[in-house]
């Protein structure tokens, strides 16, 4: 099918065409994806409304809240240019220390999950920034998952690096619901094949993506785990690179797409990178929604510093957010995020709460605590 051109349709009809095709399962062409990323300033609201129609068709007005826990901090052997947890970079005292950092105890992970359950978060994710946990670390993750599931009504996600069939089955049996493994780095995102070598030098795209990451996503799916794969916007990639990433995620049929925005860290190779403009961040989110219409599109790391005062606008294309921080950076308070969601006219999807009562419960949770 040829690209839809603005010379044949007015802009409103163009976005409506994208809505109908996305909901019907038809993928936009690359030229049409560029139309989204290059939309004029006056088109941001109509574009956001179009992305919202796709989002609403699959998720209504619901917004999920998710919480991350860094189960093992730093000392990663990779050299990803954006990550302060690499042992090969990072400003001393702010980046990753050299040497092996200890794994969090089972008790500490259960306590962190209890905090997430206390705000009725939909999902709690345990992350180890490694090329795969040791057996001892995997034992701790699985035991923590069993204890958390026995204690709380909360979904669990794990992000542990490369996965084997045996390890995937252990995670399923322990109660883990979803596995995260992005198309490139050991924790967060990413880039396209063409841009990969500019961000990561330790291993080639063929080694890391084709031989490992895609395989891991497929193993997770075949084991019965939901899959979460995403990327980082703002690494210096081209629009074509971003489009390639979105298309790759669609082809993998992942359940969740976390969209991060670079929040550069001191001491990393990308520390001088500037934040992207909020309006470009919103157009990028609209792109991911059009390309991955049925996926849980999540606004992830860097949300606060890149979207700034326009954070609530991200809820039009996206249906979930991380709250309370992103492993090495701080985030909004959960109560502030709940208030933002309700102020924007959306509905907080709280774990263990009847649908008709969720905003009432969110309002109670968002009230100031008093002695």
Please, what are the domains in the chain? Answer: 55-366 (3.20.20.70)
Question: Given 3-state DSSP classes, what are the helix, strand and coil percentages for the chain, each rounded to the nearest 5?
Answer: 45, 15, 40
What pLDDT is recorded for position 85? Answer: 61
Distance CA 68, CA 185 (A): 17
Helix axes 106-118, 135-151, angle to 10 degrees: 40
Per-residue exposure over 6-34, b if at least 16 CB sit within 10 Å of its own CB, e if not: eeeeeeeebbbebbebbbeeebbeeebbb
From first to last of its 371 residues, the chain has per-residue pLDDT tens of: 555 544 445 777 999 999 999 999 999 999 999 999 999 999 999 999 999 999 999 999 999 999 999 887 655 656 565 665 655 554 443 444 433 457 899 999 999 999 999 999 999 999 987 677 778 889 999 999 999 999 999 999 999 988 999 999 999 999 999 999 876 532 333 444 454 454 555 544 444 555 577 888 999 999 999 999 988 898 888 899 899 889 989 999 999 999 999 887 777 766 767 889 999 999 999 999 999 999 999 999 999 999 999 999 999 999 999 999 887 778 899 999 999 999 999 999 988 777 667 778 787 787 654 33
Distance CA 63, CA 24 (A): 23
DSSP assignment of 106-162 equals HHHHHHHHHHHHHTT-SEEEEEE-SSS--HHHHHHHHHHHHHHHHH---EEEEE-SS
pTM: 0.85
Helix axes 135-151, 165-174, angle to 10 degrees: 30
Structure tokens belonging to residue 116: 């997430």
Length of the chain: 371
Q: Is 90 exposed, middle or buried (0-12, 13-18, 19+ CB in 10 A)?
A: buried
Distance CA 129, CA 186 (A): 6
Considering just the CA atoms, what is the radius of gyration of the chain in Å? 20
What pLDDT is recorded for position 87? Answer: 56
Distance CA 122, CA 127 (A): 17
What pLDDT is recorded for position 191? Answer: 44
8-state DSSP, 253: T
User: CA of 143: how far to CAs of 86, 110, 134, 156, in Å?
Assistant: 27, 9, 14, 13
Distance CA 259, CA 183 (A): 12
Distance CA 346, CA 314 (A): 12
What pLDDT is recorded for position 190? Answer: 41
């Amino acid at each position: 099918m040829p690209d839809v051109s603005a010379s044949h349709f007015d802009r409103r009809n163009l976005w409506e065409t994208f809505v109908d095709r996305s909901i019907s399962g038809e993928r936009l062409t690359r030229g049409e994806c560029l139309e989204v990323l290059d939309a004029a300033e006056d088109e941001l609201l109509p574009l956001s409304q179009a992305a919202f129609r796709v989002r609403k068709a699959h998720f209504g007005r619901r917004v999920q809240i998710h919480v991350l826990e860094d189960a093992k901090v730093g000392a990663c052997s990779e050299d990803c240019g954006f990550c302060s947890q690499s042992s090969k970079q990072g400003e001393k005292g702010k980046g990753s220390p050299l040497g092996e950092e200890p794994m969090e105890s089972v008790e500490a992970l259960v306590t962190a999950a209890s905090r997430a359950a206390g705000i009725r978060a939909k999902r709690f994710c345990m992350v180890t920034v490694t090329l795969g946990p040791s057996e001892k670390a995997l034992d701790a993750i699985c035991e923590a998952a069993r204890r958390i599931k026995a204690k709380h009504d909360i979904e669990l996600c794990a992000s542990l690096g490369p996965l084997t069939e045996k390890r995937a089955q252990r995670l399923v049996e322990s109660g883990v619901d979803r596995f995260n493994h992005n198309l490139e780095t050991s924790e967060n995102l990413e880039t396209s094949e063409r841009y990969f070598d500019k961000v990561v030098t330790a291993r080639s795209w063929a080694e890391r993506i084709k031989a490992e990451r895609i395989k891991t996503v497929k193993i997770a799916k075949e084991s019965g785990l939901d899959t979460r794969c995403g990327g980082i916007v703002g690494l210096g990639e081209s629009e074509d690179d971003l489009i390639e990433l979105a298309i790759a995620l669609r082809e993998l049929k992942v359940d969740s797409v976390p969209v991060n925005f670079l929040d550069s860290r001191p001491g990393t190779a990308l520390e001088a990178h500037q934040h992207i403009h909020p309006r470009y961040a919103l157009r990028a989110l609209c792109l991911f929604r059009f390309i991955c219409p049925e996926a849980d599109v999540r606004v992830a790391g860097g949300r606060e510093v890149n979207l700034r005062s326009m954070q609530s606008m991200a809820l039009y294309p996206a249906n979930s957010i991380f709250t309370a921080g992103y492993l090495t950076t701080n985030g909004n308070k959960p109560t502030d995020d709940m208030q933002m969601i309700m102020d924007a006219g959306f509905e907080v999807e709280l774990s263990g709460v009847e649908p008709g009562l969720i905003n009432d419960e969110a309002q109670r949770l968002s009230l100031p605590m008093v002695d």
